[in-house]
């Protein structure tokens, strides 16, 4: 029987990475159109195939293209922007604010093309992406000639391509409708992570993926903190939580899964969820090490991914595959686990399974798409070549070969690189454009990092609200007489409260930055129990002492917001030059004096032990108002002092915030 083909690759060491790990040396493989039509021992294939063109692959391994199971390709433009940071500071403090400012369809297309060049050079033929403007990722990928699962991000925050989640969901739907059935692109929906989505978003994304039968790409159980928060907020860990919200109705591709237990792994197995193991990213961000050996034993489809180029920081799958093997060996104390053939299978066929693309790609088999690479094994670092053990070629590829040994890459039957020359992309032009973006982002960040206020605004949810406060503070020798004067006097009291406050002041060497105060407020019930805790963040502008009577001070609060991140997050993000802790017990009254509302606080500052203070203050919206109120504040103090023994009231002192200057 004679078979016609467009191309016959001969004289290669063929690693099929199929179920049986068939290996042909020398082997031949025939391509027709976009598919593999024959492969096997060279003499057999040569005897039955007539090809228009033949290529001698002497000294090279011919294997399926690698599958990068999780990445964010446009982030090549953000590579090296912020490193050595914790995941939340890195993501919420740097990546997301810069993305909101710069990410556009143009940005995404450029970043994708640069990534495609790097991916092709390291032997990747398919990648699984998650980003914004995913239709532009798709367009650029098609131009580069690669295959990709493109996941349109949906999350609860405003994103560069959508002001609301409804908008991003509509965008995802349109993207999927437009790109479904494309030869190279598999559109997908990508709810970013359980903690960046709402339950409603998770449900909607699952429904969308099911409706169009496309994959659903999500970050899961990446950090211990995520799991801890899930337990706190929902009473269950991440995997049961997303199961409750129907995510497993869809074809799931789960990135990371670092912190999952055996039960959760069984759940993922039951629902045929694919897993993307990202060893470099998990190590770099100290997220931990995924229980990959256990996952593989359970029969889960574990692929390997680089994650985005700003958490890795490259897209080199050779490095990633080697690391996956070494990490499993090193952490288990067993050098036989995640062997070279298994590691390479994870980087190819298992990756395709994880992406739900195993019908199309991931191994060299007749009927599958011609997604293949040639790797030069004649280099110094991969020599010599032993043949007594079949596994030695896998070991050469996994433990010794480098991505730069990839000489030729074919996707869907078309060459995208031959003899190390990229055929679809102009690297030089791309790099010049990337340098221009880097310059703009640098300018933006240099400016932002100079100002505490702009850093605060950048982390989102920030409503900049400028208000002034007229404030007087008086040291007391003892608080009881003053309390009696307030409670039993002639003031109109609107309400009384009791708090315990834990304040952390971030101080900066530049006094113009003001102070940033993180406050934890505990409401104390009459029986002494804590009834409620609140966290707030306030940027207090530089204190202004103008010609107000006595030491009445005008301070300026420029921004106030609920503190939704941990104190540790703010510390690492703002990098204060000094930190001051103040703990106080506060009795607070809201009163009316001369038709004006005031707060009167009676504080016992416990840490540091500063004693007792009377504080009278009122918010104002204008300078004129401030002048009027400062006069009233002075009058109110005189009014109160008339009711207590003079020795109780010491001199006006500066506000506690000022005590620390
Ligand atoms: Zn990721």
Three-state SS annotation for 195-223: HHCCHHHHHHHHHHHHHHCCEEEEEECCC
Give distance in angstroms: CA of 332 to centre of ligand 1.
25
Place of tokens 């005590």: 659
Higher pLDDT, 536 or 10: 10
Among 230-239, 281-290, 518-527, 633-642, where is mean pLDDT lowest?
633-642
Give distance in angstroms: CA of 276 to centre of ligand 1.
10
Tokens of 543: 């204190």
Give distance in angstroms: CA of 503 to centre of ligand 1.
35
Backbone angles phi, psi at 588, to 5 degrees: -125, 135
**What pLDDT is attached to residue 497?**
93
Give distance in angstroms: CA of 219 to centre of ligand 1.
6
Backbone angles phi, psi at 140, to 5 degrees: -65, -35
Alpha carbon distance 90, 190 (integer Å): 20
Of the pLDDT bands very low, low, confident and very high (cuts 50, 70, 90), residue 609 is confident
Give distance in angstroms: CA of 15 to centre of ligand 1.
30
Give distance in angstroms: CA of 325 to centre of ligand 1.
20
Alpha carbon distance 493, 649 (integer Å): 22
Among 26-40, 393-407, 441-455, where is mean pLDDT lowest?
441-455
Mode of pairing for the β-strands spanning 649-653 and 23-32: unpaired
Alpha carbon distance 75, 503 (integer Å): 37
Packed helices 480-487 and 623-641: angle between N→C axes, nearest 10 degrees? 110
Give distance in angstroms: CA of 355 to centre of ligand 1.
15
Residue 421's contacts (CB-CB under 8 Å, 6 or more residues apart) are: none
**What pLDDT is attached to residue 51?**
97
Among 181-190, 317-326, 581-590, where is mean pLDDT lowest?
581-590
Give distance in angstroms: CA of 73 to centre of ligand 1.
10
pLDDT at 284 over 70: yes
Of the pLDDT bands very low, low, confident and very high (cuts 50, 70, 90), residue 469 is confident
Of the pLDDT bands very low, low, confident and very high (cuts 50, 70, 90), residue 31 is very high
CA distances from 17 to 66, 122, 368 (A): 11, 18, 12
Give distance in angstroms: CA of 167 to centre of ligand 1.
22
Give distance in angstroms: CA of 269 to centre of ligand 1.
21
Alpha carbon distance 354, 351 (integer Å): 5
Q: Do you find a cis peptide bond into 574, omega within 30 degrees of 0?
A: no
pLDDT at 88 over 90: no
Give distance in angstroms: CA of 134 to centre of ligand 1.
15
Q: Which protein residues have a CB closer than 5 Å to ligand 1 (ion)?
A: 307
pLDDT at 148 over 70: yes
Alpha carbon distance 661, 649 (integer Å): 23
**What pLDDT is attached to residue 390?**
82
For the residues 222-245, what does the mean pLDDT come to? 96
Give distance in angstroms: CA of 275 to centre of ligand 1.
12
Give distance in angstroms: CA of 94 to centre of ligand 1.
15
Give distance in angstroms: CA of 573 to centre of ligand 1.
21
Among 60-69, 235-244, 353-362, 620-629, where is mean pLDDT lowest?
620-629
Residue pair 63/397 in contact (Cβ under 8 Å)? The answer is yes
**What pLDDT is attached to residue 471?**
78
Q: Which of 77-91, 233-247, 617-631 holds the top average pLDDT? A: 233-247
**What pLDDT is attached to residue 554?**
53
Give distance in angstroms: CA of 452 to centre of ligand 1.
28
Tokens of 480: 């009881």
Give distance in angstroms: CA of 307 to centre of ligand 1.
5
pLDDT at 254 over 80: yes
**What pLDDT is attached to residue 557?**
62
**What pLDDT is attached to residue 660?**
24
Give distance in angstroms: CA of 215 to centre of ligand 1.
16
Give distance in angstroms: CA of 131 to centre of ligand 1.
9
Give distance in angstroms: CA of 640 to centre of ligand 1.
60
**Half-sphere exposure of residue 516, counting CA atoms within 13 Å on the CB side?**
27
Residue 114's contacts (CB-CB under 8 Å, 6 or more residues apart) are: 76, 77, 430, 431, 434
For the residues 147-176, what does the mean pLDDT come to? 94
Give distance in angstroms: CA of 247 to centre of ligand 1.
18
Among 63-77, 350-364, 435-449, 471-485, where is mean pLDDT lowest?
471-485
Q: What percent of the chain has pLDDT over 90?
A: 71
**What pLDDT is attached to residue 661?**
22
Give distance in angstroms: CA of 195 to centre of ligand 1.
14
Give distance in angstroms: CA of 220 to centre of ligand 1.
10
Give distance in angstroms: CA of 130 to centre of ligand 1.
7
pTM as predicted:
0.83
Backbone angles phi, psi at 654, to 5 degrees: -70, 160
For the residues 535-559, what does the mean pLDDT come to? 60
pLDDT at 294 over 50: yes
pLDDT at 252 over 60: yes
Residue 549's contacts (CB-CB under 8 Å, 6 or more residues apart) are: 630, 631, 634
Give distance in angstroms: CA of 308 to centre of ligand 1.
6
Q: What percent of the chain has pLDDT over 70?
A: 92
Give distance in angstroms: CA of 443 to centre of ligand 1.
26
Give distance in angstroms: CA of 434 to centre of ligand 1.
21
Residue pair 223/569 in contact (Cβ under 8 Å)? The answer is no
pLDDT at 29 over 90: yes
Give distance in angstroms: CA of 603 to centre of ligand 1.
47
Alpha carbon distance 275, 324 (integer Å): 13
Among 298-302, 462-466, 558-562, 633-637, where is mean pLDDT lowest?
462-466
**What pLDDT is attached to residue 462?**
53
**What pLDDT is attached to residue 361?**
98
pLDDT at 650 over 60: no
Of the pLDDT bands very low, low, confident and very high (cuts 50, 70, 90), residue 640 is confident
Alpha carbon distance 544, 443 (integer Å): 31
**What pLDDT is attached to residue 176?**
98
Give distance in angstroms: CA of 229 to centre of ligand 1.
19
For the residues 106-133, what does the mean pLDDT come to? 98
Of the pLDDT bands very low, low, confident and very high (cuts 50, 70, 90), residue 548 is very low
For the residues 484-494, what does the mean pLDDT come to? 87
Of the pLDDT bands very low, low, confident and very high (cuts 50, 70, 90), residue 616 is confident
Give distance in angstroms: CA of 67 to centre of ligand 1.
15
Q: Which residues of 440-451 are buried (b: 16+ CB within 10 A; e: fewer)?
A: ebeebbeebeee
Give distance in angstroms: CA of 504 to centre of ligand 1.
33
**Which residue, among 450, 441, 449, has the nearest Cα to 93 in the 3D structure?**
449
Give distance in angstroms: CA of 296 to centre of ligand 1.
21
Give distance in angstroms: CA of 75 to centre of ligand 1.
10
Q: Do you find a cis peptide bond into 575, omega within 30 degrees of 0?
A: no
For the residues 393-408, what does the mean pLDDT come to? 97
Give distance in angstroms: CA of 21 to centre of ligand 1.
30
Of the pLDDT bands very low, low, confident and very high (cuts 50, 70, 90), residue 542 is low
């Amino acid at each position: 029987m004679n078979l016609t083909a467009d191309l016959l690759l001969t004289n290669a060491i063929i690693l099929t990475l199929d179920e049986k790990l068939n290996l042909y040396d020398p082997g031949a493989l025939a391509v027709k159109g976009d598919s593999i039509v024959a492969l096997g021992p060279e003499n057999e294939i040569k005897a039955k195939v007539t090809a228009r063109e033949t290529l001698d692959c002497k000294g090279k391994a011919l294997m399926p293209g690698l599958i990068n199971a999780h990445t964010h390709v446009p982030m090549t433009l953000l590579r090296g922007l912020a490193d050595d940071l914790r995941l939340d500071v890195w993501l919420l403090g740097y990546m997301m604010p810069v993305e909101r400012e710069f990410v556009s369809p143009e940005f995404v297309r450029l970043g994708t093309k640069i990534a495609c060049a790097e991916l092709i050079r390291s032997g990747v033929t398919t990648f699984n992406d998650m980003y914004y403007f995913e239709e532009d990722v798709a367009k650029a990928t098609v131009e580069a000639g690669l295959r990709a699962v493109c996941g349109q991000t949906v999350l609860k925050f405003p994103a560069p391509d959508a002001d609301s989640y409804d908008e991003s969901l509509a965008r995802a739907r349109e993207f999927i409708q437009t790109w479904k059935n494309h030869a190279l692109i598999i559109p997908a929906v990508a709810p970013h992570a359980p903690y960046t989505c709402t339950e409603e978003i998770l449900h909607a994304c699952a429904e969308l993926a099911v409706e169009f039968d496309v994959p659903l790409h999500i970050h899961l159980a990446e950090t211990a903190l995520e799991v801890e928060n899930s337990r706190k907020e929902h009473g269950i860990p991440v995997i049961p939580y997303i199961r409750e919200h129907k995510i497993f109705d869809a074809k799931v591709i789960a990135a990371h899964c670092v912190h999952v237990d055996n039960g959760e792994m069984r759940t993922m197995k039951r629902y045929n969820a694919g897993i993307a193991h990202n060893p470099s990213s998990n190590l770099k961000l100290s997220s931990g090490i995924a229980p990959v050996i256990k996952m593989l034993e359970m029969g889960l489809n574990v692929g390997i991914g680089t994650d985005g180029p700003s958490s890795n920081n490259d897209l080199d799958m050779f490095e990633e595959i080697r690391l996956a093997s070494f990490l499993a060996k090193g952490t288990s104390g067993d050098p036989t686990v995640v062997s070279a053939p298994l590691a390479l299978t994870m980087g190819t066929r298992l990756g395709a399974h994880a992406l739900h693309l195993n019908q199309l790609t991931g191994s060299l088999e007749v009927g599958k798409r011609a997604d293949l690479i040639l790797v030069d094994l004649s280099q110094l670092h991969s020599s010599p070549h032993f043949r007594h053990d079949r596994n030695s070629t896998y070991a050469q590829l996994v433990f010794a070969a480098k991505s730069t040994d990839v000489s030729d890459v074919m996707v869907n039957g078309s060459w995208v690189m031959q003899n190390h020359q990229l055929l679809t992309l102009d690297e030089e032009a791309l790099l010049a454009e990337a340098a221009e973006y880097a310059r703009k982002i640098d300018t933006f960040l240099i400016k932002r990092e100079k100002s505490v206020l702009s850093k605060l605004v950048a982390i989102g949810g920030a409503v900049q609200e400028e208000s002034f406060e007229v404030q007087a503070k008086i040291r007391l020798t003892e608080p009881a007489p003053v309390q009696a004067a307030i409670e039993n006097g002639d003031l109109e009291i609107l309400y009384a409260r009791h708090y315990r406050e834990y304040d952390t002041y971030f101080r900066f060497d530049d006094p113009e930055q003001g102070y940033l105060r993180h406050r934890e407020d505990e409401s104390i019930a009459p029986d002494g129990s804590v009834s409620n805790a609140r966290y707030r963040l306030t940027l207090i502008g530089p204190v202004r002492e103008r010609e107000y009577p006595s030491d009445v001070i005008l301070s300026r609060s420029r921004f106030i917001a609920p503190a939704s991140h941990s104190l540790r997050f703010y510390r690492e993000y703002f990098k204060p030059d000094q930190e001051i802790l103040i703990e106080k017990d506060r009795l607070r009254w809201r009163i009316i004096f001369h038709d004006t509302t005031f707060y009167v606080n009676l504080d016992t500052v416990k840490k540091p032990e500063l004693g007792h203070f009377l504080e009278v203050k009122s918010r104002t919206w204008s300078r004129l108002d401030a002048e009027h109120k400062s006069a009233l504040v002075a009058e109110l103090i005189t009014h109160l002092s008339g009711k207590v023994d003079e020795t109780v009231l010491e001199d006006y002192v500066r506000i506690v915030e000022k005590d620390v200057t």
